[in-house]
Structures are given as C-alpha cells and as structure tokens.
Amino acid sequence: MVSPTIVGGEKLTTDAQNPGAVHLVADWTPMACTGSLIGKRWVLTARHCVDEEGGYAQTPKGVVAGTIAMGGAKLIATRRVFLAPDGDTALIQLASDAAGKVLPYASNRVPLNKEVLEYGWGWTSPTEGVSPVLKMARAKTIRYADNFEFERGKDVVAKGITGSTWSGDSGGPLIYQGVLVGNTSGGLQDGKTITAETQFAMTSQNAAWIRKTTGIAGVIVS
C-alpha cells in the first residue's frame, strides 16, 4: 500500500506557513499519514489511513498539529474515527483541542484548470525517507475521475507543476483559494516526476456527512 506525498515542491520555513496540515501518529510509526484540521477537534484524512478493513491501516494514536516539523508538537489523542459514506475520506475526532490553523472545507466541486496547493511530509525521492518538515507544491486540476482506492466516490485529478505527491502522506490537503477541496488518495508517481498526476477525494461528495458529523458547515468555492 503506497501513500502519496511531495516530490519536488518546497520546504516551508515557519509554523505560520502551515495552512492546517497535521500528521497522524500510529503505534508502528511517528508519521502514518497526513490530514487537515477542519475544526479544533476534527481532522479530515484518507479513509485508507484509518480503516483497518483489508489490512490497510490501524486507528491512529493521535495527531501532531500547529507545526511544520515532524513530531514538533504535543500529540493530541484520537477519540473516535468516522468513515465517510463515499470515497477515500474519513474524520478523526480528537480528545482535546489542537493547535494551529483551521481550514474551511468546500461543499461544492473544485473547478478544473485551476491552480491548487498540495501539502505533505512524506517521501521525497526513491532514496530518501519522509521529509523532516512540511512541504508544499503547486499543481493544476485537470479532470474528475472515479476513486480507485475504494472503487466508489469521485476524485479530482491534479497534475504537478512544481511538485507532486508520493509515498508516505495520504490524507494530506489539496487547497484552492485557501479552502480545503480534497484529501490525497493515490497517484502514479515514480519518486522522480514532479509533474505526476494525483487523485484527491473531494470534500464536496461528503459535505453533508461532514456537516452532520462535526457540526461544521462547508463553504462555496468558484
């Protein structure tokens, strides 16, 4: 099972540059996946990062938020995990408030042919491990597609401009105009190609479920 993150792109230099990305911590690794803080006690991430069905993953111990450094802040414990009805998306309810910025999420589809931002801590090349600091890359939305991870739900496909996602950071945020529009699901990356394509599970397909579960309403993007 391969979880995407950033090949190419750029390293962030201050915690203030983190838009709301968090990294998930599991018993077997300090960097299991990435997610997005959509409320002080709510994280949106990839379903395959938390769903034990099929042996994909295990429920994370918690998340680290409010920092660009790997393990650079206190662990906030997981209270409960909720699996979305469509696509490769899940919610983690936290046991206490997390530090850092909170991302609004989109209740409608991100438009095509728009520049977006991808974030992640994961692998950066075939010979290097996960990044010690959060990375960001610019990409462009090019088409919609069926989700291949769980064979249900709709994704948006983004093609890298300055970088592309790769192994180690599923669940990470795709951001358009400051709004979370999707979470990293998977892609066709060889660890070298900055223009590779990645599929992102769109927040729009589960917007009603996110609002019902968290009490947090989405916003419209255009």
The string of pLDDT tens digits covering residues 87-99 is: 999 999 999 999 9
Q: pLDDT-derived band of residue 4, with 50, 70 and 90 as boundaries?
A: very low
Q: Please give the structure tokens belonging to residue 8.
A: 């190419």
d(CA 106, CA 83): 18
Q: Can you give the length of the chain in residues?
A: 222
For the cut 70, the answer to whether the pLDDT of residue 34 exceeds it is yes
pLDDT in tens, 166-178: 665 789 999 999 9
* All domains of the chain in start order, with CATH: 7-13+104-204 (2.40.10.10), 18-94 (2.40.10.10)
A 10 A CB-CB count for 178 gives 12
Residues 6+ apart with CB under 8 A from 141: 110, 111, 112, 113, 114, 116, 156, 157, 158, 176
Residue 60: partners with Cβ closer than 8 Å, 6 or more residues away:
24, 25, 26, 32, 33, 49, 50, 78, 81, 92
Which position has the higher pLDDT, 180 or 59? 180
Rounded mean pLDDT of 99-109?
97
Residue 53 has pLDDT above 90, yes or no: no
What's the pLDDT at 124?
59
Q: Can you give the pLDDT at residue 62?
A: 94
Going by pLDDT thresholds of 50, 70 and 90, the confidence category of residue 193 is confident
Contact at 8 Å (CB) between 121 and 68?
Answer: no
pLDDT at 147 over 90: no
21 has pLDDT over 60: yes
- Quick: pLDDT tens for 54-76: 455 578 899 999 999 987 788 99
State percent of the chain over pLDDT 90: 63
* Mean pLDDT, range 109-132, rounded to an integer: 81
Least confident window among 35-39, 84-88, 213-217: 84-88
The one-letter code for the residue type at 191 is G
Q: Confidence class of residue 5 from pLDDT cuts 50, 70 and 90?
A: very low
More confident: 221 or 27: 221
Q: What is the pLDDT of residue 121?
A: 83
Decide which of 3 and 137 is more confident.
137
Q: Is-contact 98 76, C-beta < 8 A?
A: yes
Structure tokens at 90: 């899940």
pLDDT score of 3: 38
